[in-house]
Amino acid sequence: MRNSALQPPRSRIRYVSPRFQGPAVLAFAAIIATGGAIFWKLVDSEFQRVFLHTAIRGHYAFDSAYDIVRDLLARHLAGLFVGVFLTGSVLVLLLVAATRHGIGKAVDSLRASADGDLSTPTGTGPIGEFDRFGKKIDAARSDTLASVLKIRSEAAALAAGGISPEEFRLRWDELKQRIRRIAP
């Protein structure tokens, strides 16, 4: 029988990260709303002009109002689609560039940490979520550096001698415990 107490806890999958996805959703909504408002303003004024002009001109060779504004409507709908899609694409590319820059800096920082550099700031940039993430990485690196420096100074102090054998043994064991706590 499987013991559920021995099973490692399954990490909960969180699909929504308001700090990261929220601004992107708001930006897309702003683009769509702006596109819609421009479309409404343009088409409304064009409809008013075109229908009035057609009514005065006479020669009604059409069955419905749609026949009058077919081309105009198609042009404006195409304009709405192209405008919103192009602006949305630029936003996607900006998001990708910001992610590449922010996470790229975090990756560089972790690689530098593997080479021993635990003090150079990550510098993920001013974008909220990445800045916060960079600070978390820096905090982890800073903790590690503080721990290593403490162990190093203790090791140097012990190596310098002049300590009684009992105290030396005690501090030696303590030092081993501290080393064991690095990257548990």
* Residues in 58-87 at the binding interface with other proteins, rule: CB under 8 A: 58, 60, 62-66, 68-69, 73, 77, 80-81, 84-85
* CB 50 within 8 Å of CB 65: no
Q: 165-168 long-range CB contacts below 8 Å, 24 or more apart?
A: none
* Pair of tokens at residue 58: 């006479």
**Binding status of residue 94 toward other proteins by CB under 8 A:** no
Considering only residues 149, 167, 170, 174, which one is a binding residue for other proteins as defined by CB under 8 A?
149
Taking the least distance from each CB to other proteins, the nearer of 3 and 184 is 184
- Map the footprint of other proteins across residues 14-53, applying CB under 8 A: 14-17, 20-21, 24-25, 28-29, 32-33, 36-37, 39-40, 43-44, 47-48, 51-52
CA 109/CA 25 separation, integer angstroms: 29
* Per rule CB under 8 A, count of chain residues that contact other proteins: 90
**Binding status of residue 90 toward other proteins by CB under 8 A:** no
**Binding status of residue 125 toward other proteins by CB under 8 A:** no
Helix, strand, or coil here: 57? helix
**Directed axis angle between helix 65-114 and helix 18-57, to 10°?**
160
**Binding status of residue 167 toward other proteins by CB under 8 A:** no
* Pair of tokens at residue 50: 């075109």
Computed over its alpha carbons, how large is the radius of gyration of the chain? Answer: 33
Taking the least distance from each CB to other proteins, the nearer of 1 and 13 is 13
**Binding status of residue 170 toward other proteins by CB under 8 A:** no
Kindly report the length of the chain.
184
**Binding status of residue 121 toward other proteins by CB under 8 A:** no
